[in-house]
Amino acid sequence: MTLKTTTTPYDRLELTEWRTAIAESLGVAYASLSTSAATRLDRIVNAAQEYISQRAAHTPKLQREKTFTLTAASDQELAMPADFRSAIRMQEERTDGTNVSAVFTTKTDWMDARDGSVTHPWITDSRAKVFFDGMSSAEPPVEQWRRVGVSAASATLRVIYRPFFNLLSTGADAFTDLPASETEAILKQAQAQWALYNKDYEAYGVLRQDREDHINALETGDRKNFEEPFEQGMDVLFRRL
């Protein structure tokens, strides 16, 4: 048995491969599907990625990063990326070389913290506060967060967050962030949902159990970020036990 290499990895599937695999299981060609059925199959493939991500509790592998350049203002709105699911950490990297972690708070705390003075006490705080401030007016809307604190012009605000997946395409976004080891579970989820869509309840039951078998195998070790009994120095907050 040879090991996989960087040139022949155990890879994720592209959308065209998902389409072929699911349609083939039904004994039909993707190209022969009606427009509405093909659209539904694509949607099922995307939903399967999300479902398996949820079952994996969005493991620590599933992270992305976004940076913002802060302005001279002490009160700034930040429009998050369209794939933003939830914030993990926000840190300011200031021009004087210091790194300052922002404090997560809420909009109600912002309102409650007002002490009657002309200037809100958070405005002059050297450690910035950030909070969810509603959805934007864009179509589709994105989350708006608000940064309040002492002005940190030209500083970089680094946001680490958990993403939703980009919709699959046949181009640059043909792959998702889910590890390749999750591929079979995703495939079985998609096939099961397609069977359900076609009211093939017997096939749905079999495929659903097959999906669970794959997920049970993944839970044994693939959804961890360390080896037992020899831990590799991973931060305890990063590990899923």
Q: Where are the domains of the chain?
A: 27-57+192-241, 64-163
Structure tokens at 162: 């958990």
Given this model, what pLDDT does residue 172 score? 61
* Alpha-carbon 75 to chain mean position: 27
Kindly report the average pLDDT of the chain as a whole number.
86
What's the confidence (pLDDT) of residue 226?
61
Q: What is the pLDDT of residue 169?
A: 67
* Rounded (10°) angle between helices 201-221 and 183-197: 160
Distance separating alpha carbons of residues 146 and 148, to the nearest angstrom: 6
CA–CA distance, 211 with 129 (Å, rounded to integer): 43
Per-residue CA distances from 88 to 60, 129, 163 (Å) = 10, 14, 10
Percent pLDDT > 70 in the chain is 89
**Cβ partners under 8 Å of residue 153, min gap 6:** 70, 71, 72, 95
- Phi, psi torsion values for 221, nearest 5 degrees: -155, -30
Q: Over 70: is that where the pLDDT of 168 sits?
A: no
pLDDT tens-digit map of 147-157: 999 888 889 99
Give the pLDDT confidence score for residue 114 in this predicted structure: 80
Question: Torsion angle of alpha carbons 140, 146, 152, 155, nearest 10°?
Answer: -30
pLDDT tens, residue by residue, 16-69: 888 888 888 778 888 999 999 999 988 898 899 889 989 988 887 788 899 999
| Confidence (pLDDT) at 28 | 83
B/e letters for 202-219, b = 16+ CB within 10 Å, e = fewer, are ebbeebbebbeebbeebe
What six digits make up the tokens of 61? 């592998």
- Helix (H) or strand (E) run with residue 65 in it: strand 64-69
State pLDDT tens for residues 202-235.
999 999 999 999 999 998 878 876 666 555 565 6
Question: pLDDT category, 239, cuts 50, 70, 90?
Answer: low
pLDDT band at 158 (very low <50, low <70, confident <90, very high): very high
Alpha helices, DSSP H, located in the chain: 15-25, 35-55, 107-112, 183-197, 201-221
Backbone angles phi, psi at 65, to 5 degrees: -130, 140
Q: pLDDT per residue over 68-117, tens digit each?
A: 999 888 899 999 998 899 999 999 999 888 898 999 999 999 998 887 77
DSSP string, 155-224: -EEEEEEEEPPPPP-SSTT-S-SS-GGGHHHHHHHHHHHHHHHTT-HHHHHHHHHHHHHHHHHHHHHTT-
Name residue 193's amino acid: Q
pLDDT at res. 79: 95
From start to end of 83-155, where are the E strands? 84-93, 99-101, 103-104, 129-135, 143-148
pLDDT of 107: 93
Two tokens, residue 140: 């589709």
Under the banding of pLDDT at 50, 70 and 90, the label for residue 236 is low
